[in-house]
Structure 1
Amino acid sequence: MTEHDSRDQPQLGHPRASAERSVATHHNAGIINTGDNPVFVLPPPLENPSLGTNAHPERIIHLPRPATDVFIGREELVAQLHEQRGAELSVCVISGLGGIGKSELALQYAESRRREATLIWWINSENADRAMEGIAELGHRVTPASDEMSSDEAVNLAINWLSRNSNWLLILDNLDEPSSVHSLLANVQGAGQLLLTTRRNLRWPGVCEVIQLEELSQDESVELVKRITGFRDADEEAPLRELAHFLGFLPLALDQASAYMRQTQVPPSRYLEKVSKNPVKVFDSMVDGDKQQSTILRIWNVTLATLVQRSEDAVEILHILAFCAPDDIPREAIGESDSDEDFDALLGLLASFSMVKLTSDAVHIHRLVRKVLLLSLLANPDVGQMARDICLNWLISHLPMQSDNELGSWPLLRRLIPHFEAIYAFYPEDERTSELGAAFNSLGIFETTQGNYPKALTFRKVATEVALSVLGEGHESSAIAMSNLGVAYRDLGQPDTAVELQRSALRMAEQCSAGDGVLAVIYGQLGRTLSEIGESIEALKHHQRAVSLAQNAWGSISVDTAIRLSDLGKAYGATGDLDECIPIFEQALDITKNVLPSGHPIVGIRMGDLAEAYSRAGKGSEAIGLVSAALDILRNSLGSGHPITNSCMRSASAIHHSTGHLEIALELIQESIELAPHEHPSVMRDRLANMATVLSDLGRHSEAIEAVKKALANKKALSRRNAKRLEMLLQMIEVRAGDDSI
């Protein structure tokens, strides 16, 4: 490996420049660099071309450092670079985020060609001046007796040498601007290979191959650390994987971490603890003897400084997006809907520096970039809080007014949820707002419609905590949040907790003179919970009150009023009063059909309610028609695995069972059980009992007995009433089995 001293350019006198930042020279036949983004302007060909021939046939190797001996996950890319070589000039670009391993890949490729290339020349090309110096050094190296030549002449010699020789490799590392190589590519004609590394994701002129580097896989990251550190203790496997994920599978970060652990003999678990507590210090440190390269923090700071010069607005967007989760940030949620800002152009600039990745509908930030940005923002509270609040406002502005009714908004809502979860972590209790609480209340409602009851509980806890801390108990928003929290507990099979919360919510709402709409919701929710614990008479009274309040708040033709009517119909059904129940269900269905599209899941739910009432009233054919239509709607809108669809399957099975269609009934209840393996135990016990009854009616008593025993498996978790009911069912089936065997 040869090293070269820098040479002073000869003095050509002192002509006066005509203006600030202009060039003053007697004459020029070489490179001129002016402005903020200088480019190469190459001199014309030499008058004596023979000076450009290779008078030194020995190989010339000029590299900044040896390639690392631990190189994982990129071997195929080295082979790909070999394949790009041909009889003419080959130009390849390696592009990617700072720290992704661009320079290391170029070094590995250069080492693989050490034995056969006539020349391997590495130029640090952070700016055009450095690139020019590197090419001039090449000219001095390949041409004898060139020490007295100017830099311009040396550059000319280098270009001529490359054009007249073959099997060479010229590496321009860390280029920023495609314009910097326009003239170089136009003048070099030799059968060699030009390899560019850059953080810029742009269109490069004359390029035949662009390699966009991605992160290592988790397994590759773990193996890289193991090989460098030597740590292979099984107890460190889990911390090592967690560390690799924390570092975003980024090669430079993994390499720096490994060098530290190897030198200090700190195991991955301890290093993970250190980097979690003080990431800035760790990211900006390098141990003695480590490879001569910048730390991950310094590399990104240089990129951000360049970006600030280009567009402060783009950097502001990057700061705002740092408060989101790193992956799949919806582009439609970036910015205010009525803004005329060209966010696409600003995102494009960020992507061109590899600080984000763009798809047609999403933005992705590397998780380690995001961590570093957040550390900087949190250290500057004024800037950080402003970026955080803007981010929250963007997210909230894209929440639908009614997340349970607006099906078209569901795909976006699903994508927004991780970003609300991410930003919530940056709001200490004394900085939370009512808007934040309302947003999580909407998310809780949405997760309930999706059947994701544990997540709904989490969101509704947040909504209640924020409402109580910001607004206090004397506000109707606190009351509705608490009642919704009760719904979440009821959905998870904890009706006693739900009743307690909802009674408290009702007291709060009445004390603060809440509006009729709020009171209607709370009365209805409490009524449902009371029905579930067998308090049918009290539940009926609450539902009657809820309907009256709903009609006052929303009028008679409203989805919200129809929901309260349906609840009232169920309450009458629970008391056995089908004469009152059926007309109310029919009214609720008519209202819903008038307000919502025919394929909306709420239409399906209302159909299912009426089908059950028809079945109980002996109207079997009408019930089958309605429940079949309801099931089709729910399958299409919610999917077969949704809890509401599953509940409708169970109803359809019961209706077919009651009309003697036993095979269809069995098929439906079996599908219901298969599609809901993690359903709440109480719900699953009911389904198993239903299946056992159908199996027994089909004469398949042994299978029926097994189903009941499975329902009874965890007897301690059963209430006395449910255990007694299942035991009686088991005895009945055993008796029937005995009778059939006689």
Structure 2
Amino acid sequence: MAEQRRPGANGAAVPEHVLVVFPGYHRSWAAWIAQCLERHGHRATLQRWDPPREVALEDSLGDLLLASGRVLLVLNDWFFELGPRPPGEWNDALRGFVAAHADRFAAVNLTNRPLLPATAVLEPASLWALSEEAAEERLLRRLGLEPLTRPRALPDRIRYPDERCEIWGEVPRRNPRFTGRDDLLGELHQRLADAERGAAACTLVGMSGIGKTQLAAEYAHRFSTDYDLVWWVNSDDRTIQRDRLGELAVELGLRIGSEPGERIRAVRNALRRGEPYANWLLVFDGWDDIDGVTALLPQGTGHVLVTSRNRGWSEHTDVLEIPTFVRAESTGYLMRRAPHITAREADEVAAEFGDVPLPLVQAASWLGESGMEVDEYLRMVRERRLSTVDEPVTGEGFPQSSLTSWAILLNRLRRSQPQAIDVLGLCTSFAPGRIPLGLIRAYPRAELPEELRWMSADLPAWTRALDTLVNYSVLTRETRGPLAAEAGPHQESVHMHRLVHDIVSKLTGDNGGDLHRRAVRTLLAEADPGNPADSRNWPRYAELLPHLQPSGALESRQPRVQELVLNCLRYCTRSGEYSGGLELAQQVRERWSRFMDPIDQPMLDLATQEGNMLRNRGRFRELYELHRGVLKQLRAAPRHNEIGELVSKSAIASGLRSLGRYQEAYDLQREVLDGNERLLGQDQPPTLVARHNLAVTLRMLGRYAEALDLDLETLARGESVLRARHINTLHSGNAVTHSLRLLGRYREALARQEPVVRLHVQVLGPQHPQTLEARSQLAMCRRREGGPGPDVGPAMAALLDQLIQLHGREHYRTLSFITNYGNFLREHGDLSQARDLIDEAEAGYRSLLGPAHPVATGMLSNTGLVMQAAGERAEALSMFESALAGLTATLGPDHPWVLGCALNAAGARNLNGRIEDAVELSRDTLRRVRHTLGHEHPLTLSCQVALAADLRAAHEQEEAGKLEEDALLALTRSLGAQHPHTISARQRVRPYWDFEAYLG
């Protein structure tokens, strides 16, 4: 088919030109239409159009005709609200001016709702619900343009607007009344497009009620064709934020477990790589707490949009300050919502509310719903302003007049729709933001107060009340999940802006508050899945947790509600939300202590969860003091609670172990195990945990063979009782490997740990904290075994990065691996980085534990090894002697750590010319290590090789030769002829011992 052209001045054919006129919210359609025209050889110009009310409509339409070619209007029913103008004015313009220039105007229609009658003059081509191919054909036919047989290929294809992104994650419904802000949206789009790759992040900053969330939602809808993935993350609450971000892992098809930290890391890695989607947009709504922001903020090929009141975001992202409406936006919005008011009246209302969007929305809703005249409305606002409340609700410059406006609305609802006030009171007993009101329908048998039972029994009344609040813009409806449009009432949730929540709470006071809070507590308790250990329940707990405090659940005396609170704490422990969980636990303790005895069972359960989180945060002294106080109270009680005492003793033993008081910890843990076996039996979970902890303590004491026996027993019983894939059984598998490795059985340890890690990854995912612990153990097995296999260095470097992301650099588990990696680097020649890492770990442990702690003392030996490798012999000797003296004083002369330090100190004495002292120390060390670890342990054989070297330096060749020969035979027999230890001994390289920092 021939391409249609109009002749130019010289007779040559030239392309048609089309001016595509659109309201801002149809930018994506206009861009797609322009692309279609360009593909078929024509020119298109985009013209955003929002004609001012004060300009006659014929004049604004006439301005469009100044462009050459056809004018294509992109229509829907809201198009005719532009201005805004009464329908009659549009009909007159269409019948008159447009009809007179019908050859210049054309239109496409994007809605199935009826348009103004006179729109017929435009003969709009409907693109509603068409495929892309059909829409393109209809567009060209309406403009009288012949399609090219082979359309041009354009470099960047614009997605057809009716094609949803591949992943569209809970973006709020588009607000059909969104007005103005086009310049802001354009600037935001430009900033993100122009940002450097990997750093395209912008934060919308402004006071509450300024419209940040609405602007972010409109951006996501308006520019959705730019992205393959759009994901919305409610960020008011850190727990919900992390859970929501982690949910994206499932949508991306990432094969990981359910632990939030693990999911977040997997998501961030996928986004950074741009796999499977390079064009993505993540929106973090309401992110005010920016502590730890770098662990969550994604980087990569896509865009990040944040809304916040916190101006500290300027240190992390580009910042766009959101101002109030310009007056034209304010008046336009008011006149659309309340068509009966004039431009002058709209201007007066806008001035009264300072052009702040949120109070303008409420004012427009009131005027539109009530039909009240503006003079009367403003008189009510102004007369009641001083008598409503004395101070603004917030210190953010929110207009005082808006409080009066809200008071007027509430008074009207009390008279005309009291049930809506009940629903509103119920909402203020939840936290602001997303409110799961569907719980009322989901749990109809919940024991609601009699005055509120209509909510679950009378669905029409419930719907009317909710519709009223939505119509007055007090609430907006939300639904979760991919089938949101089909969600039933039991799945429904609403969104209540934080500022609306504050205002309504202040104005309603405590009128019915106790009643509503009791109802919410009851519903939350009914919604408790009851098993926080099951990761499938974690999203529900993340949803319930923010509402505990505002509902009064933390103060409740109802056992069912108290169990909900404890289960939320258990969820925090299991999911790794230690900071938020610890803060919650302390809030609960402060409230429960007012009416509950410290030794009541809920308080004991609370202490257990608080202690777990203190330990996981590395706050060992607080853990110890907390449970020491609990044990004291239990012992003073008139009734003996032996199980309670055993639980507290176990926590105290854990604290003692971490504080370096190993023998005390052992004695107490032995008592715990004996008590559990006597009272509960050998196979109950608490007994298995007690046996595991006793083995941990034995390892700290250097009694590795005894620890292995207990570990093997615990593993066998766990596999029988809990099964092989239970998290505690997996933990026992790690423990067995650790004991084997400390016993020098490196090959056996490696053979065991490889399947243990595979099972961890299958069950918990590759980034779960316990999986990282198992992978750390595997890395050390490979290092000690010394045979061919994966390159240990890069694997350790990658694992260290993951530990830092999970725990931070100052956490005790991270410090442990920093130590191990630093020792590895020193051993393989990277002395500079090794020194940095060992110095960092030594300082970290000294700060965390104090300088006298055995681990902090043992780190001196690692520092000495770095100094010795750098040629600083005297300084190294001083470090070794300090470590030896300190550990001997705290652990006794026969502990393996002490013997390792003695090995290093003897070598340093030799290097510094103190041969006799070296021989004396080496001889004593060999005697002790044989007694402690046996004759063929690698440390024993290293001490034997070292003594031979010292004897040789003292010219006692015969004894040296005999010792060396025996050691080489034993090393070959136990480790193999090609093991690095054996080769080094054969080459007469002085053996050394590096300290593995370990807190159990």
| TM-score (normalised: structure 2) | 0.47
2:567 to 442, 448, 454: 442
1:656-675 alignment runs, 5 A limit:
656-661=782-787, 665-675=792-802
Residue 587 (str. 1) matches residue 710 (str. 2): no
SS of equivalent to 2:442: coil
2:622 and 2:457 map into 1 onto residues whose CA distance is 49
Report the alpha carbon displacement of residue 499 of structure 1 after superposing the two structures with TM: 1.0
The whole-number CA distance in structure 2 between the counterparts of 1:108 and 1:547 is 87
Partner of 1:204: none
Deviation at 1:495, TM superposition (A): 1.6
User: Is residue 684 of structure 1 aligned with residue 814 of structure 2?
Assistant: yes
Give 1:391's aligned residue: 520
**Cα separation, partners in 2 of 1:188 and 1:549, compared to 1, 3 Å:** farther
Report if the CA contact (8 A) 1:569-1:580 is conserved.
yes
Residue aligning to 1:635: 761
Indicate which of 868, 881, 901 corresponds to 1:735: 868
What's the secondary structure of 2:725's corresponding residue? coil
2:174 aligns with 213
* Aligned CA distance change for structure 1 residues 708 and 573 (closer, same or farther; 3 Å): closer
Q: Which residue of 2 aligns with 1:95?
A: none
Give the 3 Å change call, closer, same or farther, for CA 142–76 of structure 1 in structure 2.
Answer: closer
**CA–CA distance in 2 between the matches of 1:482 and 1:322?**
28
Aligned to 1:707: 837
> What do residues 176-202 of structure 1 show as CA deviations (whole Å, max 9, x unaligned)?
xx9xx88x999996646799xxxxxxx
Aligned to 2:801, the other structure's residue is in SS state helix
User: Cα deviations across residues 371-393 of structure 1 (Å, max 9, x unaligned)?
Assistant: 43564356163544333333333
Q: Distance in 2 between matches of 1:705 and 1:692?
A: 7
Equivalent of 2:600 in 470, 475, 479: 475
In the other structure, the counterpart of 2:633 is: 508
**What secondary structure does 1:357 align onto?**
strand
Q: 1:369 to 1:707 in 2, by over 3 A?
A: closer
- The range that moved more, 626-635 or 351-360, is 351-360
CA–CA distance in 2 between the matches of 1:343 and 1:322?
21
Q: Give per-residue Cα distances to partners, 1:271-292, cap 9 Å, x unaligned.
A: 9x94526999747379xxxxxx
Moved more, 584-593 or 363-372: 363-372
Residues 267 and 637 of structure 1: is their aligned pair in 2 closer, same or farther, counting only changes over 3 Å?
farther
CA contact (8 A) 1:247 1:368 kept: no
CA contact (8 A) 1:476 1:509 kept: no
CA separation of 1:658 and 1:669: change in aligned 2, threshold 3 A:
same
In 2: Cα distance, 1:425 partner to 1:352 partner:
22
State whether structure 2 residue 376 is matched by structure 1 residue 412.
Answer: no
Cα deviation, residue 564, structure 1 = 1.9
Matched, 1:645 2:771: yes
Are the counterparts in 1 of residues 437 and 494 from structure 2 also a CA contact under 8 Å? no
Distance between the aligned counterparts of 1:190 and 1:301, measured in 2? 48
**Alignment RMSD, CA only?**
6.2
Residue 540 of structure 1 corresponds to 666
- Alignment pair present for 1:564 and 2:515: no
Alignment partner of 1:488 is 2:613: yes
- Aligned partner of 2:952 in structure 1 is none
> 1:502, 1:559 → 2: CA distance?
21
Superposition deviation, residue 624 in structure 1: 2.0
Q: CA deviation at 1:243?
A: 0.5
Letter in 2 for 1:609: A
Partners of 1:430 and 1:567 lie apart in 2 by 35
Residues 631 and 648, structure 1, Cα contact 8 Å, conserved in 2: yes
Q: Distance in 1 between matches of 2:558 and 2:55?
A: 53
C-alpha distance 616-637 of structure 1, shift in aligned 2 (>3 A): same
* TM superposition shift of 1:356: 0.9
Deviation at 1:542, TM superposition (A): 2.6
Matching residue within 716, 737, 753 for 1:611:
737
State the distance in 1 between where 2:828 and 2:531 align.
45
Match of 2:27 in 1: 76
Distance across 2 between alignment mates of 1:301 and 1:249:
28
Counterpart contact for 1:705–1:730, Cα < 8 Å: yes
Would the alpha carbon gap of residues 139 and 566 (structure 1) be closer, same or farther in structure 2, given more than 3 Å must change? closer
Shift of 1:429: 7.8
Deviation, structure 1 residue 81? 12
Which stretch has the larger CA shift, 71-80 or 670-679? Answer: 71-80
Q: Deviations over 1:203-258 (max 9, x none)?
A: xxxxx9999634999x969959x99xxxxxxxxxx999240577554479975798
1:221–1:626 distance in 2 versus 1, CA, 3 Å: farther
Deviation at 1:694, TM superposition (A): 2.3
Decide whether the 8 Å contact of 1:640 with 1:675 is kept in 2. no
The separation in 1 between residues aligned to 2:687 and 2:176, in whole angstroms, is: 53
**Structure-1 separation of matches of 2:23 and 2:505:** 34
Indicate conservation of the 8 Å contact 2:91/2:117, yes or no.
Answer: no
**Cα distance in 1, alignment partners of residues 715 and 652 from structure 2:** 22
- Give, in angstroms, the shift of residue 708 of structure 1: 1.7
Structure-2 change in CA distance of 1:741 and 1:381 (3 Å) = same
Residue 433 of structure 2 corresponds to: 326
Confirm or deny: 8 A CA contact 2:699 2:707 kept in the other structure. yes
Query: C-alpha distance in 1, partners of 2:440/2:787?
Result: 50
Asked whether the equivalents of residues 247 and 254 of structure 1 are also in contact (C-alpha less than 8 Å), the reply is no
- Post-superposition shift, 1:116? 6.4
Structure-1 separation of matches of 2:76 and 2:702: 88
The residue aligned with 2:207 is: 243
1:98-109 pair list within 5 angstroms: none
Matched, 1:284 2:409: no
Instruction: Provide the rounded CA distance (Å) in 2 between the counterparts of 1:123 and 1:306.
Output: 35
Post-superposition offset of 1:122: 14
The verdict on how the C-alpha distance between 1:109 and 1:468 changes in structure 2, with shifts beyond 3 A counting, is farther
SS at structure 1 position matched to 2:552: coil
Query: Post-superposition shift, 1:674?
Result: 0.9
Aligned match of 1:695:
825
Q: SS of the residue aligned with 1:470?
A: coil
1:557 shift after superposition: 3.1
Match of residue 427, structure 1, among 540, 544, 552:
552
Structure 2 residue corresponding to 1:654, chosen from 762, 780, 785: 780
Residue 483 of structure 1 and its aligned partner are, at CA, apart by 4.3
8 A contact 1:356–1:366 mirrored in 2: yes
After superposition, residues 158-237 of structure 1 pair within 5 angstroms as 191=122, 213-214=174-175
AA of the residue aligned to 2:480: T
Q: Is residue 482–residue 501 contact of structure 1 (8 Å, CA) maintained in 2?
A: yes
Gap change, CA 1:591 and 1:313, over 3 Å in 2:
farther
Aligned pair partner of 2:851 in 694, 706, 720: 720
**Aligned equivalents of 2:182, 2:119: Cα separation in 1:** 39
The AA in structure 2 aligned to 1:542 is L
Are 2:477 and 1:359 aligned? no
- Report the Cα distance in structure 2 between the residues aligned to 1:106 and 1:654, rounded to whole angstroms: 74
Tell me which of 447, 455, 468 is aligned to 2:580.
455
The secondary structure found in structure 2 opposite 1:276 is coil
Does structure 2 conserve the Cα–Cα contact (< 8 Å) formed by 1:536 and 1:571? yes
2:205 alignment partner, SS class: helix
C-alpha change, 1:248 and 1:241, in structure 2 (3 Å) is closer
Q: CA, structure 1 residues 613+78, in 2 after alignment: closer, same or farther (shift >3 Å)?
A: closer
State the one-letter code of the partner of 2:536: G
Contact 2:683–2:717 (CA<8 Å) still a contact in 1? yes
